[in-house]
Structure 1
Amino acid sequence: MATVEPMRADESKTPSVNIKEGDQAILKKGKTVRVFQIRKKRDIWLDKIKFSLDGAIGHFYGTTFEVKNGQMHKIQKTFKEAEVLGAEKGTDNRNLHDLDSNQKLSRDDIEKMRKEGAKGEEIIEQLIENSTTFKGKTEYAQEKWVKKKKQKHVAEFTVLKPNTRLMCQMYHEKSPAKILNIRMDTLAQILTYGNVHAFTNVAVVDTCSGLVVGAVLERLGGYGKVFHFHPGERPVRPIVDNLNFPQEYMDSLYNFPFCEINSLKDDTAAEEDKSGVVNDKFPTELVSCDGENSSDTSAKKSADSDIRTKDCEENSDNQGSGDLESGDLDLSSDPGTKKRKQELSTREANKILYNKRLSEAKDFLSKRNIDCLIIASKFNPTPLVTSLIEYVAPSRPIVVYSQYQEAVMDAYAYLRETGCLVNYRVSETWLREYQILPMRTHPEIQMSAGGGYLLTATTIVKEQK
């Protein structure tokens, strides 16, 4: 009987678990979450503490470090609030008053202890001993007080590997407008309704700093294709850059500007694109992102080429006369000239690669074999859906997100008239966090007002008249 070997994961597509120089890492202290790039001999500021990240290189992600003299040192045991709580506890806090005289230690005394090298735990113990009201507080009030002092005096940071959940949490707390107020639960529903999994081809319209694109790439795991439709010539997605994806993940990502969508609808243009890709030669007449026609662009290119040839002839004549007067002069030895030539060659190589990737994306989209369409954009989603829905295969989901109800309802009303979808559903995501403690379970006082609106539907084969 033949033995079956267990499936092994592709090591090239497995992210590293060790902290390396150049990686983007997340530093977490309490509820404070920030992302930094690991660089040697570079100081950063976090929670009014200045330190270097050199000590974190080589350790595993998830390790907790303590800052001493501006350097990070690994600690085996983290400080817990329950370790400094005494046996005496009060029944209620009705007789306690918030006064400065409750604490005998002054700020100068605390600074003196820090300069002498006292740890954060020792400072907190001294604050407890010199507090006149700590013993009269309830157990919950004592833990809350110690947690607040820990956030201020204990310099412990946990280095975490960036993922979409942490990035979504960080952006939602710091600058939610950059991710269109998408919460973690909303992002999870987008991926679930879109049926995003490995070996699927997903088209994404993302103008929320690359949050949805990063989540889709993370869910695919390097197996499948992602087509990112974006405004402008180059996409803006800092979240994807901070997720430290392997190169195999990024190879499955294709950029597609909005200005190239109209070229997909022209069958003749698609045939010309296919016939133009011969021996690594790519079509040069593409639709300009500035709204110019291809004929005008080609005319301008020809005119520019004529002017360049004339300038080159004049420069060659001038250089020839100069060489006759001053002797042989080797311009290739100039370091500035070499640098400019290298930059031009790199720029041309990137342009050729960009055209090649764009041509591959056009060829694939022309087959109309997209498994999912996700739109999370600050623009009106109606024209985006109507332009891209024809490239989605039948019986596939589409998901439209907007932080405004009017935009989602407009797309819903228009798509109902076209009759190319079924199973329409408009929903509003809502989430409330709860504080769960013994005999003290209750909702959090502060919560987000709304998590946006979702339109979901399924494509069908539209009958041709």
Structure 2
Amino acid sequence: MASEDSGDGLREETMSANRRHTWEGCSVLLDINDGDRLVFAMLTHGATLKIGKKKFPLAPLIGCPFGSLFKVETSSNGSHLARFFPSSAPEAATEQVKDHCHASVEFKDNRSLVDNNTAQGLSSEDIDAMRREGATGEEIVEALITNSSTFDKKTTFSQEKYKVKKQKKYAPKVLLRRPFSRSICEAYFKKSPTRIGSLRVDALSLLLSMANVGAYSDVLVLDTVGGLLTGAVAERLGGTGYVCCTYFGSSNLPIDIVRMFNFSSDVNSRIVQASFTDLIGEDNDEPSSQPDNPKPHAANTNTLLSAESIIPKSLVPVLHDESLEEVNVSNAKFGYSKEIFSELNSVQTSPHVHSRSFNEDGRNAQPCSISEKLIPPGRKASTELIKTWKRRGFTSLIVAAPEMEVDSLVQKLLPLISYSGPFAVYHHCLQPLAICMHNLQTSKMAVSLQISEPWLREYQVLPSRTHPHMQTSGFGGYILSGIKVCGGSGS
């Protein structure tokens, strides 16, 4: 028995260590050219990534640690992505630029430069010939600098900008990033903020903090931002407690973004869904057996109808965003909507990606369906769980439904959490939260009510040129927070 226990411990340690590396079938975030493009992809041997006018297979990324850097290389088999390790040359160049700024007595400017398309001696035919001969991207960039008649006349900062511009075009780099709450939120907020309700990363972190989301918490969530909030709560719980996604009406809300977090079966099993009708039913009532068509109880029919009236038609039955492209992956067997891997840029994936299963470390397992190995998130909450929540109440409540009527939502959902339970409500407009706050004060349902406005400013930190980003987000929405108390009309 001791040897078996030690073997299990070693196996778990190996699996946790391998989680630092990618495996076949995992989701990744590809950062192309320092944030110029952000692409969500599923790593398979048949997946490809389009950079410029060419497509590159993603097979070399399988088994590499997160944070690895790749560049385009040309060989006899064609162009492909190859991993490389950046040297300390950029740091040396930065120090050289810094020393030049302080020590040089000769000042330059770009007033004498004229953009007449005659400064570059290399033509496009010459560059194509270099590519056919197998020249690397760095060699092409050096040739462009050498044949530029105005490069030496530019300022030091202009020279650096020129190098970066040419490197992005002729020597693109791909950074392999791990998808987690911050990276996913930043990627969607940059490319498609409406998909996540314009929920910024600082507002997301503030929601989790004000709702006191921690280990062994049972969090009630109303998520109309594609599952970003649900995934962030589950990530904070770390496989302890439960996150319950509730919904009004007969159709549950999509939480497709949760699939990008690469959660294990243990974490996915703690992400459940339950309709509002089941949560407010009597203790001896059974929850609806079919997850997509719950039957309202007779005693709560009026409550359900009034709840359905606050749902906009744009959210029934599922959220859909046609501005995002989709990956060609069949997800029918998992029960997810077609926008399960809606992307920020086009990535092609093999349609047979789910035909084989893999172990936790990414190695091939016995041929069977992945759905038999990995528990999908968002299953129907069991009868025992619902009865427990009816008896004890949820520990906290988080609402991120900018397109719904916030006041009605909070009035209906707040009685479901326990006394002294914190709650947080996100909205991109101030007036709905102000009305909700006033009604909570008059009904004495909550105390410590406050409306917060998150504020975030990003800075460029470089030698002699540190300043805020020229293009930044000046608005991150509003958050209403408070603590439920006993004695109000909702008790």
**Bigger mean CA offset, 40-49 vs 373-382:** 40-49
Other-structure match for 1:334: none
* Paired AA for residue 285 in structure 2: E
Question: What is the total number of aligned residue pairs between the two structures?
Answer: 390
Work out whether residues 278 and 288 of structure 2, in 8 Å CA contact, stay in contact via their aligned partners in 1.
Answer: no
Other-structure match for 1:382: 407
Q: Give the structure with the higher percent helix.
A: 1
How far residue 155 of structure 1 moved from its aligned partner, in angstroms, is 2.9
The 2-side partners of 1:127 and 1:455 are apart by: 55
Whether 2:215 is the aligned partner of 1:198: answer yes
Other-structure match for 2:429: 404
How far residue 458 of structure 1 moved from its aligned partner, in angstroms, is 1.2
- Alpha carbons of 1:104 and 1:441: their partners in 2 closer, same or farther (altered >3 Å)? same
- Alpha carbons of 1:77 and 1:265: their partners in 2 closer, same or farther (altered >3 Å)? closer
- Alpha carbons of 1:294 and 1:21: their partners in 2 closer, same or farther (altered >3 Å)? farther
Work out whether residues 444 and 488 of structure 2, in 8 Å CA contact, stay in contact via their aligned partners in 1.
Answer: no
How far residue 81 of structure 1 moved from its aligned partner, in angstroms, is 5.5
- Alpha carbons of 1:382 and 1:360: their partners in 2 closer, same or farther (altered >3 Å)? farther
Other-structure match for 1:265: 280
Q: Relative contact order (alpha carbons < 8 A, sep ≥ 6): 1 or 2 greater?
A: 2
- Alignment equivalent of 2:86, drawn from 77, 81, 105: 77
**Bigger mean CA offset, 378-387 vs 213-222:** 378-387
Whether 2:133 is the aligned partner of 1:124: answer no
* Paired AA for residue 379 in structure 1: M
Give the number of the structure whose alpha-carbon radius of gyration is greater: 1
Query: Tell me, what secondary structure is at the counterpart of 1:102?
Result: coil
Other-structure match for 1:26: 29
Work out whether residues 81 and 143 of structure 1, in 8 Å CA contact, stay in contact via their aligned partners in 2.
Answer: no
Query: Tell me, what secondary structure is at the counterpart of 1:101?
Result: coil
Query: Tell me, what secondary structure is at the counterpart of 2:229?
Result: helix
- Alignment equivalent of 2:483, drawn from 419, 433, 458: 458
Other-structure match for 1:416: 441
The 1-side partners of 2:274 and 2:17 are apart by: 27
- What is the 5 A alignment of 1:117-156? 117-156=134-173
How far residue 71 of structure 1 moved from its aligned partner, in angstroms, is 2.5
- Alpha carbons of 1:283 and 1:24: their partners in 2 closer, same or farther (altered >3 Å)? closer
How far residue 205 of structure 1 moved from its aligned partner, in angstroms, is 0.7
Work out whether residues 204 and 227 of structure 1, in 8 Å CA contact, stay in contact via their aligned partners in 2.
Answer: yes
Consecutive unaligned residues of structure 2, counting only runs of 5 or more, are: 1-8, 302-370
* 1:210-232 per-position Cα deviation (integer Å, ceiling 9, x unaligned): 11111111111111111112355
Whether 2:102 is the aligned partner of 1:93: answer no
* 1:111-142 per-position Cα deviation (integer Å, ceiling 9, x unaligned): 22122111111111111111122112222222
**RMSD after superposition:** 3.2
Work out whether residues 367 and 391 of structure 1, in 8 Å CA contact, stay in contact via their aligned partners in 2.
Answer: no
- Alpha carbons of 1:264 and 1:27: their partners in 2 closer, same or farther (altered >3 Å)? closer
TM-score (normalizing by structure 2): 0.72
Whether 2:452 is the aligned partner of 1:427: answer yes
Consecutive unaligned residues of structure 1, counting only runs of 5 or more, are: 1-7, 274-281, 297-345
- Alpha carbons of 1:360 and 1:71: their partners in 2 closer, same or farther (altered >3 Å)? farther
Other-structure match for 2:395: 371
- What is the 5 A alignment of 1:195-344? 195-230=212-247, 232-257=250-275, 261-267=276-282, 270-273=283-286, 288-289=293-294
* Paired AA for residue 272 in structure 1: D
User: Identity of aligned pairs, percent?
Assistant: 30
Whether 2:76 is the aligned partner of 1:59: answer no
Work out whether residues 207 and 230 of structure 1, in 8 Å CA contact, stay in contact via their aligned partners in 2.
Answer: no
The 2-side partners of 1:234 and 1:115 are apart by: 54
How far residue 358 of structure 1 moved from its aligned partner, in angstroms, is 4.1
Show structure 1 runs of 4+ deviating over 4 A: 8-15, 78-90, 282-296
* Paired AA for residue 167 in structure 1: I
Other-structure match for 2:200: 183
* Paired AA for residue 117 in structure 1: G
Work out whether residues 41 and 54 of structure 1, in 8 Å CA contact, stay in contact via their aligned partners in 2.
Answer: yes
Other-structure match for 1:336: none
How far residue 233 of structure 1 moved from its aligned partner, in angstroms, is 2.9
* Paired AA for residue 223 in structure 2: D
How far residue 392 of structure 1 moved from its aligned partner, in angstroms, is 1.4
